[in-house]
Amino acid sequence: MSPAPAAASGTSAAGVALGQELIYGCMGLGGSWSAQPYSSADVDEAAAAVEAALDAGITLFDHADIYRNGKAEAVFGEVLARTPGLREKIRLQTKCGIRLGEQGLEAYYDLSRDGILERVNESLARLRTDYVDVLMLHRPDPLMDPAEVASAVGELMAEGKVRAIGVSNMSGPQIEMLQDRLEAPVVANQLEMSLLKRAWLESTVLVNHAEGTDYSFPHGTVEHCVRHGIGLQAYGSLARGLYTGAPAAEPSPAEEATSALVAALAAEKGTTGEAIVLGWLMKHPAGIAPVIGTAKPGRIRACAGAAEAAAGLTRAEWYGLWVTARGSNIP
């Protein structure tokens, strides 16, 4: 089926409004990754992170069933339960499809019909909500049958448990294969994109260049998403603090130079390093929405000025950040 494309910065056919915005990534909430139960301190930490995110103007929260062994969703559910009115103020997305530590395997993927239905029902119970705004298929499962995926997603949408469908870590052709069967448009694709992880950018630029063969990022993915109104969401967008003060064991000369440039631009423009790093992504015309994963309220608030920083970066500054981060000139 070929539904009308959703607007990249607008409201999907299902009525979920996604735009170029900051998204709060909840992977850091919920304590350890072990099966050990979460504590009340973990719930308090999640509440403080949610409050800081709201202060920073963020209203879209990103989850996955596997984050902290389900505990990221569970502590978020506790925060929702103790904060009347919060659910109505925010949009929630979660993901399914990765199984960790089961069947004697460290990881395998399961986008079977039953797998999708079971995982979403579990996520809703942990999140203590009746619906998620966006369900993302976390990674392509080579054993998935697009018709089966479409059947599960169609059922969840008909029941009102899922309002829109998205994907993660998928190429343009993989999205197309699913879209051929899905009734609803794919509204978003979440990929790793940052000043550090630049394959999304370099693979599109180094066409017909020897260096271009070094990238695993499939050519045409960004263009496919832009053409079809599929919002691009960037995970790892803060480069895990590499350019904004996170201790690095042995930073490379390019990393040191990039940190210095980020700090200098932030000082010159009266903003934060985080805003510069995220603004660099947001200046790209694909309308990238950065997913930020820090659990520290101060760092979450430091991200608030990202859109303004994007608007304030000149073309030369944008290229300067790119070339400095890659540690060599572009062709």
| Interface with ligand NAP: number of residues (CB under 6 A) | 25
Q: Is 67 a catalytic residue?
A: yes
Separation between Cα atoms, residue 269 and residue 18, nearest integer Å: 28
Q: Which two tokens stand for residue 250?
A: 């042995």
Which residues ranging from 39 to 68 are in contact with ligand NAP (CB under 6 A)? 62
Separation between Cα atoms, residue 71 and residue 206, nearest integer Å: 41
Of 19-27, 158-166, 198-206, 218-226, which part binds ligand NAP (CB under 6 A)? 19-27
186 binds ligand NAP (CB under 6 A): no
Separation between Cα atoms, residue 255 and residue 269, nearest integer Å: 21
Separation between Cα atoms, residue 244 and residue 299, nearest integer Å: 10
31 binds ligand NAP (CB under 6 A): no
* CB nearer to ligand NAP: pick between 71 and 206: 71
Q: Which of 115, 140, 229, 236 binds ligand NAP (CB under 6 A)?
A: 236
280 binds ligand NAP (CB under 6 A): no
**Which of these is catalytic: 24, 67, 235, 243?**
67
Which residues ranging from 134 to 153 are in contact with ligand NAP (CB under 6 A)? none
Separation between Cα atoms, residue 319 and residue 325, nearest integer Å: 10
190 binds ligand NAP (CB under 6 A): yes
* CB nearer to ligand NAP: pick between 49 and 313: 49
Of 144-152, 203-211, 238-246, 251-259, which part binds ligand NAP (CB under 6 A)? 238-246
Q: Which two tokens stand for residue 322?
A: 């790119």
* CB nearer to ligand NAP: pick between 62 and 317: 62
Q: Which of 7, 13, 14, 27 binds ligand NAP (CB under 6 A)?
A: 27
Separation between Cα atoms, residue 290 and residue 190, nearest integer Å: 9
Separation between Cα atoms, residue 129 and residue 63, nearest integer Å: 13
Separation between Cα atoms, residue 240 and residue 253, nearest integer Å: 18
Q: Are 225 and 219 in contact (CB under 8 A)?
A: no
**What separation in angstroms does the CA of 219 have from each of 201, 204, 225, 262, 326?**
10, 6, 12, 29, 19
Within 10 Å of residue 61's Cβ, how many Cβ atoms?
A: 27
Cβ 142 to ligand NAP, closest distance in Å? 16
241 binds ligand NAP (CB under 6 A): yes
Which residues form the catalytic set?
A: 67
Q: Which chain residues interact with ligand NAP by CB under 6 A?
A: 25-28, 62, 168-169, 190, 235-241, 244-246, 291-296, 299
